[in-house]
Structure 1
Amino acid sequence: MCHSTDSRPPTAPGAGEVAEHGLAELTALDGNTFLAYRATPAAPNGSNVVLLPDVRGVHPFYRELAQRFAEAGFHTVALDYYGRTDDTNDRDDSFDWAGHFAEVTPEQVRLDAAAAAADLRERNAGPVFSVGFCFGGSQSWRLAASDLGLAGSVGFYGQPKLVTDVVDELSAPLLLLLGGADVATPREEFLAFAERLDEAGKEHELHLYEGAPHSFFDRSFGEWADACDDAWLRVREFTARNAVAVSA
């Protein structure tokens, strides 16, 4: 994992700490019971994060990332996509996600994300943001067009083609973060997507990290530490700004 090198001191007692964290089970409105991972901050900042992983589901990386969000003050729930086809909680590198991924639909993700958002709101009444990676990045942006009432949606290297059909329905601002050398989703697709968002009058920010590969944030690419740090800062600035906008 690319870790932030932010050395600013804590702003309140408990800042930088996690009160509790661990696996949980949530149930969506369609009856699906699915794996999730909760992380509760010791010093809440007032906001919540629904964390949408890549195709690996609640892989150990995303459990650690949920804790990192909690350390930054966010009540966080990372959700898993495979409750309808797999009843285990084993999501390490041996998990055969490919055997389940083809069955996942955007509507299923919306239902599970709604359950995660509801779980967060039971614990903290503040604004809810979605943050996703790769497949989860695309789904995070899509959720800005849903009925979840999100304050904003963040996506790392998602696929714009999975979102273009709902652009007109987007009701929350987007943050798009991508690597300039991402061969999975070329920059041309993102630039075209940003133009489409402009045409539709949708609020968004696009940041491209020159030379950075796909998954630069969620892999151990030490040479991209600066990009990781900047992306982490932009996520916190985006959520802080839009949390204020929601409460204003």
Structure 2
Amino acid sequence: MCYDDNARPPLPPIEGGSAHGEDIVLTAADGNRFAAYSAYPDKSLGAQVIIYPDVRGLHQFYKELALRFAETGIRAVAIDYFGRTAGLTSRDDSFDFWPHVQQLHLASFFSDVKAAQDHLHSSQGSNLPTFPVGFCLGGTLALLSGTQDFGFAGLIGFYAGMSRNIDGEGTALDRAEEIKYPVLGLFGGADQGIPTDQVQTLEQKLEGAGIEHEIVTYPGAPHSFFDRRATDFAEASIDAWNRVLRFISAHTSR
């Protein structure tokens, strides 16, 4: 698992604005009801993100991350993956997530993403540029959802796993050349679960397909380095925040 109940996202390297958030329940086209957390900036910068959590689903780290985005002026909704198999139950450390990860299907996940996207659009009253921001499993899903016609402005993935083959439809590496949107990928150089050669292959495939991309590897940083407690990697976290905010700004202004 990526983040435990004590993990907290680093603070953005800008003066925080005011924001508020709330737990909500969204309904997908197939009737699935799933938990989400919606965060609203008091002053919008004209962009929004859908946060894809790690393997544990929607837990406190991602609710707070949604608030941190909103404090920068970016509307955010963080979603849970497991409404179909675990209902609306808690995703704290006691949640046995792995059986539910094994039941995850891309088609149903994409349906949930569409529900989150519709929620953002309806609450804003317009189709603002939207970016999925994923972590671990969520990073993989950010890349895979980039093969779909969601109309995203760009994709952001922290430590996206390259070897997970959901539904037998191919790994993120297998499908990298199908991605339709610019990519920002952030990786730890000491992440034992994501070999550096896989990261290099991802970059080569994006380059070969002519897909705009920025792939960053932080030397010595482990999986889940983006954590306020990881003081040894505070500079990497600040740099990652800066790159995320620049990427969103650059692809919002187009």
TM beyond 0.5: yes
**Following the alignment from structure 1 to structure 2, what is the Cα–Cα distance between the partners of residues 61 and 4?**
12
Q: Which whole-Å CA distance do the structure 1 matches of 2:145 and 2:227 have between them?
A: 21
SS in structure 1 of the partner of residue 22 of structure 2: strand
Which amino acid is 2:133 matched to? V
1:3 counterpart residue number? 10
What do the CA deviations read for 1:98-139 (whole angstroms, capped 9, x no partner)? 121110122222111111111101122211110000000010
> Match of 1:146?
148
Q: Quick one: distance in 2 between partners of 1:130 and 1:40? A: 16
Pairing of 1:92-171 with structure 2 (within 5 A): 92-124=92-124, 125=126, 126-161=128-163, 162-171=171-180
AA aligned opposite 1:26: L
RMSD value, Cα: 1.5
1:2 and 1:221 in contact (8 A); partners too: no
1 CA distance for matches of 2:51 and 2:238? 18
The residue aligned with 1:17 is: 18
Structure 2: distance between partners of 1:86 and 1:216: 28
Q: C-alpha distance in 2, partners of 1:179/1:88?
A: 32
Q: 2 CA distance for matches of 1:84 and 1:5?
A: 33
Identity %: 41
Q: Which moved more, 1:54-63 or 1:214-223?
A: 214-223
**TM-score normalised by the chain length of structure 1:** 0.92
- The residue type paired with residue 134 of structure 1 is C
Counterpart of 1:12?
Answer: none
Does 164-173 or 68-77 show the bigger shift?
164-173
SS of aligned partner of 2:25:
strand
Alignment-derived partner of residue 90 in structure 1: 90
Partner of 1:185: 194
Q: Any conservation in 1 of the 2:173–2:201 contact (CA below 8 Å)?
A: no
The answer for unaligned runs of 5 or more in structure 2 is 1-7, 164-170
CA distance in 1 between partners of 2:228 and 2:99 (Å): 22
Q: Which deviates more from structure 2 when the two are superposed, residues 215-224 or residues 120-129?
A: 215-224
The letter of the residue matching 1:238 is: F
Length-normalised TM-score, structure 2: 0.89
- Counterpart of 1:217 in 2: which secondary structure? coil
| Distance of 1:221 and 1:103 partners within structure 2 | 32
Separation in 2, partners of 1:140, 1:53: 10
Which one-letter code corresponds to 1:164 in the other structure?
L
How far apart, CA to CA, are the structure 1 residues paired with 2:215 and 2:178? 19
SS at match of 2:157: strand
Classify the secondary structure of the residue corresponding to 2:193. Answer: coil
Structure 2 CA distance for aligned equivalents of residues 241 and 87 of structure 1:
38
Aligned to 2:233: 224
CA-to-partner distance for each residue in 1:7-61, whole Å, 9 max, x for gaps? x55xxxxx6111x311111111122111111001111111010000001111111
Runs of 4+ in 1 over 6 A off after TM superposition: none
Distance 2:62 2:12 in 1: 19
Letter in 2 for 1:225: A
Q: Secondary structure at the match of 1:115?
A: helix
Taking the TM superposition and a 5 Å limit, the aligned residue runs for 1:26-65 are 26-65=26-65
1:2·1:225 contact (CA, 8 Å) conserved in 2?
no
Conserved? CA contact 1:2–1:222, under 8 Å: no
Separation in 2, partners of 1:39, 1:238? 20
Q: Give the direction of change, closer, same or farther, for the CA distance of 1:112–1:65 in structure 2 (3 Å limit).
A: same
Match of 2:167 in 1: none
* CA positional deviation for 1:160: 2.6
Q: How many angstroms does 1:197 deviate by?
A: 1.1
